[in-house]
Structure 1
Amino acid sequence: MKYEKVKLPKIIFDWLDNEIKQATMRLNVAQPFTTIAAILNEMNKKTFDSDLFWWINLPANQWKLIDALRCGYEAEPEPRWAIKAGNCYMYDSDSWTFTTILNLAIKSRCWWVEKKDALNIITSMGFGEVVDLNKEVEADD
């Protein structure tokens, strides 16, 4: 049976990577449950960012962490918002040029990290839709 790496939000990925290294060295733990327990114990002693605190305290996310320790983990891809009109993707935001070739749109780096920035372009043009480029690429595969 092949296991897939668990995709974690970037903040959790960075935090977990650091905590696992420290817990393994400091506490000599390497098993998923003891690692999670050690991390939660350390977390109760410190003040953490609220997003991190709330994410890790959800039971479903604790199972996700256990799976990450079992199968490996990687950071979720950064958001990439693109503009699509019909079957075409914008590849030049200066001239509002579109292409039907998704690969060209990706390589041109004509995408936005903030969805609102892409929405502003659509408002200016008067047409198009904002799409999650990461999902468009998955669908294209």
Structure 2
Amino acid sequence: MNEKVKLPKFMCDWLKGFEKNYPLNVITKVDLLRKSEYNEVSYWLSGNVDNQWKLIDALRYGYEAEPEPRWGIKAGNCYMDNMIKWQFDCVTPDFIIDDELAYFTNKTKADDLVKTLGFGEVVDLNKEDKADE
């Protein structure tokens, strides 16, 4: 059995709108393009053929939203666990993800803080968490 496809949240929201109005097996390419003109869905679909296949697989096997991006700052074995106080502790990526004051959703802002601090590295907490398992 195939796994559910991970799609960006905006794609999941867009598909849910279709599910309310149409059975998914009758959506045509014309419907997809007409409903998504001049927005991020259209850009996502037209920008990459792999994304088109991802959408096809999502319709066939089901889908779920990708995790929200979470960027953290790591220095040695410690992670910043408070962006306001610039505080580092020896904690797990799970702890950082659970604390809204400890991660960034915008990588550029995390990069800027590392430059300001003069040390550390920006890490993807979603991947860090998986690497520790």
Name the TM tier (shorter chain).
0.7 to 0.9
For residues 4-38 of structure 1, the C-alpha deviation after alignment (integer angstroms, 9 at most, x for no partner) is 111111221111121233221xxxxx53xx43xx2
| Match of residue 54 from structure 1 | 43
Query: 2:111, 2:122 within 8 Å by CA — same for their partners in 1?
Result: yes
The TM-score normalised by the length of structure 2 is 0.83
Closer/same/farther in 2, CA of residues 56 and 100 from structure 1, 3 Å limit: same
Closer/same/farther in 2, CA of residues 119 and 42 from structure 1, 3 Å limit: same
| Match of residue 11 from structure 2 | 12
Q: List 4+ stretches of structure 1 deviating above 4 A.
A: none
Query: 1:11, 1:52 within 8 Å by CA — same for their partners in 2?
Result: yes
Q: Does 1:133 align with 2:116?
A: no
Matches within 5 A, 1:1-141: 2-24=1-23, 30-31=24-25, 34-35=26-27, 38=28, 40-46=29-35, 48-57=37-46, 58-102=48-92, 103-109=94-100, 110-141=102-133
Report the structure number with the largest CA radius of gyration.
Answer: 1
Query: 1:99, 1:105 within 8 Å by CA — same for their partners in 2?
Result: no
Determine the C-alpha separation between the residues in 2 that align with 1:47 and 1:86: 45
Q: Secondary structure at the match of 2:81?
A: strand
Query: 1:55, 1:61 within 8 Å by CA — same for their partners in 2?
Result: yes
Aligned residues: 130
How far the C-alpha of 1:42 sits from its partner, in A, is: 1.7
The TM-score normalised by the length of structure 1 is 0.79
Closer/same/farther in 2, CA of residues 19 and 87 from structure 1, 3 Å limit: same
Q: Secondary structure at the match of 1:113?
A: coil
Closer/same/farther in 2, CA of residues 45 and 51 from structure 1, 3 Å limit: closer
Determine the C-alpha separation between the residues in 2 that align with 1:7 and 1:78: 12
Structure 1: runs of 5 or more not aligned: 25-29
Closer/same/farther in 2, CA of residues 128 and 44 from structure 1, 3 Å limit: closer
